[in-house]
Amino acid sequence: MNALAQRAWLNLGLLGLVGGLAALALFDPGRENPALISPLLDLAPAHIERIAVERPGQDALAFEQRAGRWWMTEPDNGPANPVLIRSILQLAEARCPLRYATAGLDLKPLGLDPSQLQLRLNDRSIHFGATAPTDGQRYLRIGATVYLCPDRSYLLLTSAAAGFLASPVELPAVNATRRE
């Protein structure tokens, strides 16, 4: 057997070994599929009609849905920015795999006693705490459970209230008059 044939057989053997290891990694019979993580709230964003945000040291925010459109009712009145409202509503569907029962937890170091911010979606409350020092995720308390979730909403919820109002460009033209 010449050197070229030996190299071809060696390459085929290595390819078979790599394929076998890949198949073993993909079809490992001893590995369990991870359990499906349930959303934070059992409330679909389409069913949310009221949003309230209590922000210590800042004005409270309140929004309600009127005729299919979101309106800010506190601290100002007017149509709400739909992009920002959509971001808030998505929190109801967030999936956070790390969760702990509040029994036996000291909530003060987690920033949950008292909470730094409270978000109410209809009648369900989400209390926002501090961020975890290791990965920057935020502690959220819902009822008797503390979740560790990606911190996607806190900065939005603590931003200036005026930013939640829709800009005139976003509003549909109502009773537009023509100048002649």
Tell me how far apart the alpha carbons of residues 107 and 144 are, in angstroms, rounded to a whole number.
11
Checking if the pLDDT of 32 tops 70, the result is: no
Burial of 139 (0-12, 13-18, 19+ CB in 10 A): buried
Max CA pair span of the chain: 95
Q: What is the mean pLDDT of residues 55-72?
A: 93
pLDDT of residue 136: 85
Dump strand ranges (E) for the chain.
50-54, 61-66, 69-74, 78-79, 98-101, 117-121, 124-131, 138-142, 145-149
Q: Write down the pLDDT at residue 169.
A: 62
Q: Residue type at 88?
A: I
SS3 64: strand
What does the alpha-carbon distance between residue 70 and residue 59 come to, in Å, rounded to a whole number? 19
The pLDDT of residue 28 is above 90: no
What's the whole-number mean pLDDT along residues 145-158?
92
What is the pLDDT at residue 174?
Answer: 47
Continuous H helices in 38-167: 82-89, 154-157
Tell me: pLDDT of 68 over 80. yes
pLDDT of residue 180: 41
pLDDT band per the 50, 70, 90 thresholds, residue 84: very high
Please name the residue that has the structure tokens 């109502």: 174
Provide the whole-model pTM. Answer: 0.72
Characterize 28-41 residue by residue with b for buried, 16 or more Cβ atoms within 10 angstroms of its Cβ, and e for exposed: eeeeeeeeeeeebb
Region 28-52 average pLDDT: 80
* 149 backbone dihedrals φ, ψ, rounded to 5°: -125, 155
Q: Any idea what DSSP says for residue 39? A: P
pLDDT at site 23: 80
% of the chain exceeding 70 in pLDDT? 88
Backbone angles phi, psi at 84, to 5 degrees: -70, -40
Residues in the chain: 180
Q: How many CB atoms lie within 10 A of CB 46?
A: 8
pLDDT of residue 129: 94
pLDDT recorded at residue 30: 63
In the prediction, which pLDDT does 179 show? 44
Residue 134: predicted pLDDT: 87
